[in-house]
Amino acid sequence: MYRHKGYCVFQDASGDKFHATDTATPQAHTVELLGGSGKFKGITGTANIERLGAMTPVRQGTIQGCRRVTGSYKLP
């Protein structure tokens, strides 16, 4: 059985970041928000990711695709 577990850091244009872990299996792909900086400080939440299709890589060593993300988050 395939299972992926990863860690991601997202940054917006102003430099504020939030951190998340993601888990993917053949049945589901989920994300858990762990916290952040700036306007994202203290963020928590979860999301489900639905893969809608693959795209040609823009740059070697990268992955592109189209996904629908649904979930919720909470800020203190």
Model confidence pLDDT, tens digit, residues 11-55: 999 999 999 999 988 888 999 999 999 999 999 999 998 888 777
Residue 24 burial (CB < 10 Å; 0-12/13-18/19+)? middle
Q: What is the pTM of this model?
A: 0.71
Rounded distance, CA 13 to CA 17, Å? 10
User: Which of the four pLDDT bands, split at 50, 70 and 90, describes residue 3?
Assistant: confident
Rounded distance, CA 71 to CA 45, Å? 7
Instruction: Pick the closest to residue 21 from 11, 6, 36, 35 (CA basis).
Output: 6
